Structure 1
Amino acid sequence: MEELQSPSQPLAVSLLTDEKRVAFYRKTYTHLALAVLLFILVETMFFQIPWVLEFALSLTDGWLWLLMLGGFMLITNYAEKMALQSHDTNKQYLALLLYVVAEAFIFIPLIFMAMIMAEDGGLEILNQAAILTLSLFSGLSAVVLLTKKDFSFLKSILAIGFFIALGLIVAGVLFGFNLGLWFSVGMVILASGSILYQTSNMVHKYSEDQYVAASLGLFASLMLLFWYILSILSRD
């Protein structure tokens, strides 16, 4: 039997008419595209402000990187909860803005490294990483949208995977060893699973008024995938 919902509670996307469901998807992916554009603008702005650039780069050594990573996780966790637990569109927009700015800041060292290593200023590597990321993201999203399969079973697998990855990152910083290429490859696989999970949530879990929150979840997975693809391409 279908689960009854109170009149005041927004309908889940899976219960909407085809027309409204397509409209929800369009709004979600439009906001995802706007989030990516905002990320590029904020990142560009950060690179034009010397003290921001210097501050971000100063946090890449040892326990300072762990401090930066911990701060990023706190901010993003707060933003995700704000978006997911609210049907207030304004709060969802605020959460998305906070998340994008946090992503732009933590990406500074990686993009700086790519630009230093590449003869063309890093643009070729960034373009390659962006193309690979968008291609893989589009393919994985298409799998979910076309099959309508529920990938919610991935939640516990992803949680364990991210917990192990975080432990390895902490151990690598504390004991001074490089996690290597295969760690980045593993994280690409984990990010791919996260894209399947977040796209499945968009189809099955969100309500009609949570298109901004849905775009935040997709943006988080997209940027995780971009981070590790860029990391792989930036290696010597």
Structure 2
Amino acid sequence: MEIQTTLVSQATDIEKGEFYKKTYLHVAFALLAFSLVEYILLFNIPEEYIIAMVSQKFAWLFILGLFWLGSTLANKWTLSQSKNVQYLGLAFYVLLEAIIFLPMIYLAVVYTESIEVLKQAALLTLALFGGLTAVAFLSNKDFSFLKNVIVIGGFVSLGLIVIAILFGFNLGLWFSLGMVLLASASILYETQKLKDVYSPNQYVGASLQLFASIMLLFWYILRILSSRK
């Protein structure tokens, strides 16, 4: 199999259009698959197991560690030359997100006694994602500077999360708002770099990065809305 080395920015307009269409279709399919898997997990995993995921601090740290390792592996798979391996990576990542979201969504529904907060969080997330995508595509701004912000912000936030879990305190509203900003920056950066990092046949890997940013945004919007109920 010949390795594709041409970047999207160097491709023809038709190839660019196909790449963007396939990338965002795969993002949409990943979101639908996440919803379906989450629904199945919610109605098949016993309540005590869901609560146990977050009731023991070391259990949650272990789960977060596995999520990070699994995400790294999934990302590597989606950039493989084999289409089957690429789809395996995306499917695996969707499953990881469904598992990590399980206690958050369960508790949000239990505390509010409805799925309305989930609908609101999903709509706000999609609306913000759409707006940020439009800004990235339509503006002439260079968002490459956001890479350092995202990397540093990611390490700082991860450290704060670990400390909060170990010492049992709530990071609060301001942390969630900061993470919404970080996730928004990630969407801008990932959207702009589509043409400069990926080749036209790497739309699965590109879709995983966008999906990951959307899920980070959804997590903290849901956290904010749940805390206000």
Pairwise same-fold verdict (TM > 0.5): yes
Q: Deviations over 1:167-205 (max 9, x none)?
A: 101111111111000000000000001101111121221
Choose the corresponding residue for 1:143, options 130, 135, 139: 135
The DSSP-based 3-state class of the residue aligned with 1:59 is helix
Residue of structure 2 in register with 1:134 after alignment: 126
Unaligned runs of 5+ in 1: 1-6
Structure 1 stretches of 4+ moved >2 Å:
7-10, 53-57, 147-153
Match of 1:160 in 2: 152
Q: Does 1:64 align with 2:59?
A: yes
Map 1:1-236 → 2, pairs under 5 A: 8-51=3-46, 54-61=48-55, 62-84=57-79, 86-119=80-113, 121=114, 123-147=115-139, 149-236=141-228
| Displacement of 1:150 | 4.1
Residues 48-91 of structure 1: CA deviation (Å, up to 9, x unaligned): 2134x54333120211111111111110111112223x232221
SS in 1 for 2:24: helix
* CA RMSD, 1 decimal: 1.5
Structure 1 residues 8, 70: CA separation in 2 closer, same or farther (over 3 Å shift)? closer
* Distance (Å, rounded) in 2 between the aligned partners of 1:172 and 1:47: 26
User: What is the distance in 2 between the residues matched to 1:150 and 1:230?
Assistant: 30
CA distance in 2, matches of 1:59, 1:113: 12
Using the alignment, how far apart are the partners of 2:81 and 2:130 within structure 1?
Answer: 27
| Counterpart residue type for residue 222 of structure 1 | I
Q: Is the 8 A contact 2:8 2:196 kept in 1?
A: yes
Pair 192,105 (structure 1): closer, same or farther in 2 beyond 3 Å? same
Q: What is the rounded CA distance, in whole Å, between the counterparts of 1:50 and 1:136 in structure 2? A: 31
Distance 1:19 1:201 in 2: 18
Q: Is the 8 A contact 1:145 1:203 kept in 2?
A: no
Q: Distance in 2 between matches of 1:211 and 1:166?
A: 28
In the superposition, relative to structure 1, how do residues 175 and 22 fare at CA in structure 2: closer, same or farther (>3 Å)? same
TM-score, with length taken from structure 2? 0.94
How many residues matched? Answer: 226
Seq. identity, %: 53
Q: CA deviation at 1:156?
A: 1.9
